[in-house]
């Protein structure tokens, strides 16, 4: 089993930046990709982005390209989501995901583990 714990969410103003973290623990040995999804209020879950085990390949939703950046620190088993120029439309619960393997996952990938989520609220 792998446990994922997100942190870094909160209330910010439009135009602000925020960095989310997701720490993986448990049976994390081997190669695995990590990603982020979000669930806006009253809407469907959305893919945000993902990163391969070595950090060399990323995959982003068009809506966040250029503003959001995913990175990872394998020494800490942690993935980060740097969010810049936040907009009220980015308000959502953000979830961290985990996928065994070497291929960068996407919006339709079956992920092996999910975190509990962290709330991000962007006020106008």
Q: What is the 3-state secondary structure (H, E, C) of 70-102?
A: EEEECCCCEEEEEECCCCHHHCEEEEEEEEECC
The per-residue pLDDT for 79 is: 97
The two tokens of residue 40 are 């806006």
pLDDT tens for each residue of the chain, 124 residues long: 999 999 999 999 999 999 999 999 999 878 999 999 999 999 999 999 999 999 999 999 999 999 999 999 999 999 999 999 999 999 999 999 999 999 999 999 999 999 999 999 999 9
């Amino acid at each position: 089993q792998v446990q994922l714990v997100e942190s870094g969410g909160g209330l910010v103003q439009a135009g602000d930046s925020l960095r989310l973290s997701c720490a993986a623990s448990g049976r994390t040995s081997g190669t695995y990709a990590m990603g982020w999804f979000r669930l806006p209020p009253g809407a469907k879950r959305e893919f945000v982005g993902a990163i391969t085990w070595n950090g060399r390949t990323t995959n982003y939703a068009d809506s966040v390209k250029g503003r959001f950046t995913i990175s990872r620190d394998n020494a800490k088993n942690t993935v980060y989501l740097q969010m810049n120029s936040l907009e009220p439309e980015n308000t959502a619960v953000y979830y961290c995901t985990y996928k065994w393997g070497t291929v960068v996952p996407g919006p339709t990938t079956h992920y092996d583990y999910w975190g509990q989520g962290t709330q991000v609220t962007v006020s106008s």
